[in-house]
Structure 1
Amino acid sequence: MNRGQSDERGAALLSVLLLVAVMAVIAATALDRLTLATRIAGSAATVDQGRAYSFAAEQIALRRVADLVGRDPAKLTLAGDWLGRDFTLPLPNGQGTARLTDASNCFNLNSLVAETIPGRFTQRPGGTGQFAELMTLLGVNTDEARMVAGATADWIDSDSVDGPLGAEDGVYRSLPGSYLPANRKMADISELRAVRGVTPKLYARLKPWICALPATDPVKLNINTLAPEQAPLVAMLLPGQLTVAEARAALAARPAGGYGSSVRFWESGPLARLDPPTDVAEQAGVTSRWLILKTDVTMGDGFLTSVSLIDANGGAPSAGQMPPVIVRRDWGETD
């Protein structure tokens, strides 16, 4: 009897210990999930607060842009030391910076086409030639540059007919993991990586020089905000006629108050020998419609980046008629 009672006590003790172990595992799992849920909630709150600060920075930037445009709607210059400068955002329990840059000073990939009717895009030969020239000036082989320019134009235009040196449906269907061209405007420059002939090396070379603005107008630079090292963007306007050195000299000799007009620019220094067509001459403008605001917000361990595209014209044909507006916003670093 004593032995039987001892066995029963042992079994009871083992059951109790097993129950305690199970309860401990359940408690540990519940605590771990509670901790995770708390962290997720805290991160969500931090992100929401960071976005609120970014929205506030946008409103400050819009007022700043309105002031810049209001000084002289016909001309935007470097006066006020606003371009590429980090402005500190006074944030409670955190820190942030905001930086304005000129989004007009790049090759807009969507300028390779013209929107003849809403939603219908046809190739713009002049734009294709300028894009190929820009790549050549950046050290890309001439034949490769022409092929990529033609393929990019085909990627955006609405038809399915191969353009000169271009690529349409048949080319992409024959590739491993076949796909089709977009036949619409590019929303981001990363789409260029899907175009035939664009290698990672070529994309990395072009990335600082290209953009994808929500308009198909011909490229229009602001010669009053272009830096001398961005001279290839000016030289591409007249393929084979204007050297990078001449364009750099014209930008370096820019008056303190900027060029008053496109005519003054083309009459300056080494450019005076040129006689560009009117439409090309106007591509060297003295104002900017598109600006980029990059905001970085840090709160504790959280970090948030936003990139906002500003239309300084507010959708109007020219500056000063409507207040500036945000037309696109991206969260996180762009590729």
Structure 2
Amino acid sequence: MTSRRGIALLIVIGLLAVLAMAAGMTALAARVSTSAAFASLERLELRTAIDSAVARTAVRLSDEEDRWIADGRLYEMEIGDVDLRIRALAEPGRYDLNQGNVETLTALLEELDVPTLTARRIAGAVSDWRDEDDDVGDDGAEASAYRADGRPPPGNRPFIAVEEFRQVLGVDATLYAAAAPYLTLYGGEAVTGRYAPPRLIGTTGVSAGDARRILSARAGGRDIPEVNGSAQFDPAQPAAYAIFVEAEAASGARLSREIIISLPGEEGLYETLSRHSHVFGYADFLDPEPDA
């Protein structure tokens, strides 16, 4: 009899342990579910704040009385409990993969510490990528060179995304990561020095002295000085803009986006051309170098 009672007691204890474990798992699942729901809600809050910031930036870029200057300088605002760091960059201030000349791209790559000969070959390969023929241009590359390097052939068409620059002969992952922020598909034949990122200004024909004046004006929140030797850009005319937004919630959660818009849009204030996710701090390429 005692033996049976002992066995029954062990069974009861085992069942209680199973029930306690099940209750613990249920509580854990509830906490995980609540945490996931909160994170999802917080991410939605950040995305909504970013979209609102882009809309407000589009309004300020269109304001003839007090227009924001789209040269990458920092603007800040709060939307609800979200702090936002905003930089608008006129796309003519970046190098256009489909229209830009090889000399400017070569100079940009040299600024990014690419050896001169390599920079010329990559710029030539970009030129051969976007033309329609199979003729090898100066310092360029066509299908045979790509096959020898184990790569798919060049597009022989315009670039359809900045990401395609990674496929150009001579471009590796490290170089792509360094160069991509300076590239666009919405610029022009020449880069506008007054609106260009710091490391691009010197490639546009702007003198070293004028480059310092431009960067000083940005840092001081002043109007951009007039300079010679560079393509011009009129912010009152239709154009594309890259808007870099970094959003941080009160909890410390952060989200970063690059949203390219055109002003004006076909059916409203602006039209969204593309959206990209980036790590926080991606827009730091718009800051002057420490010794600038």
Question: What band does the TM-score fall into relative to the shorter chain?
Answer: 0.7 to 0.9
Q: Conserved in 2, the CA contact under 8 Å of 1:107 and 1:233? A: no
In the alignment, is residue 265 of structure 1 matched against residue 253 of structure 2? no
Q: Within 5 A, what are the aligned runs for 1:126-137?
A: 127-136=101-110
Out of 33, 40, 45, the position equivalent to 2:36 is 40
SS for the counterpart of 2:189 is coil
The share of aligned pairs that are identical, in percent, is 22
Match of 1:325 in 2: 271
CA deviations 1:244-289 (Å, max 9, x no partner) are xx72235557897744xxxx835xxxxxxxxxxxxxxxx6113253
Amino acid at match of 1:307: E
Match of 1:285 in 2: 232
CA distance in structure 1 between the partners assigned to 2:184 and 2:25 by the alignment: 48
Residues 7 and 155 of structure 1: CA distance in aligned 2, closer, same or farther (over 3 Å): farther
Out of 258, 273, 290, the position equivalent to 1:307 is 258
Q: Within 5 A, what are the aligned runs for 1:1-335?
A: 5-67=1-63, 70=64, 83-111=71-99, 127-136=101-110, 140-159=114-133, 162-175=136-149, 178-182=151-155, 183-188=157-162, 190-200=163-173, 202-203=175-176, 206-207=179-180, 210-214=182-186, 217-221=188-192, 223-226=193-196, 230-235=200-205, 247-251=207-211, 258-259=225-226, 265-266=228-229, 284-288=231-235, 289-299=239-249, 300-314=251-265, 323-333=269-279
CA distance in structure 2 between the partners assigned to 1:43 and 1:133 by the alignment: 44
User: Where in structure 2 are there 5+ consecutive unaligned residues?
Assistant: 218-222, 284-292
Larger Rg, first or second structure (1 or 2): 1
Amino acid at match of 2:44: D
Residues 179 and 226 of structure 1: CA distance in aligned 2, closer, same or farther (over 3 Å): closer
SS for the counterpart of 2:260 is strand
Residues 227 and 187 of structure 1: CA distance in aligned 2, closer, same or farther (over 3 Å): closer
Q: TM-score, structure 2 length as denominator? A: 0.73
SS for the counterpart of 1:90 is strand
SS for the counterpart of 2:93 is coil
CA distance in structure 1 between the partners assigned to 2:107 and 2:199 by the alignment: 17
CA distance in structure 2 between the partners assigned to 1:312 and 1:179 by the alignment: 36
Aligned-pair Cα RMSD in Å: 3.6
CA distance in structure 2 between the partners assigned to 1:138 and 1:331 by the alignment: 23
Amino acid at match of 1:92: G
Q: Conserved in 1, the CA contact under 8 Å of 2:94 and 2:184? A: no
**CA displacement at 1:137 relative to structure 2:** 6.1
Amino acid at match of 1:233: T
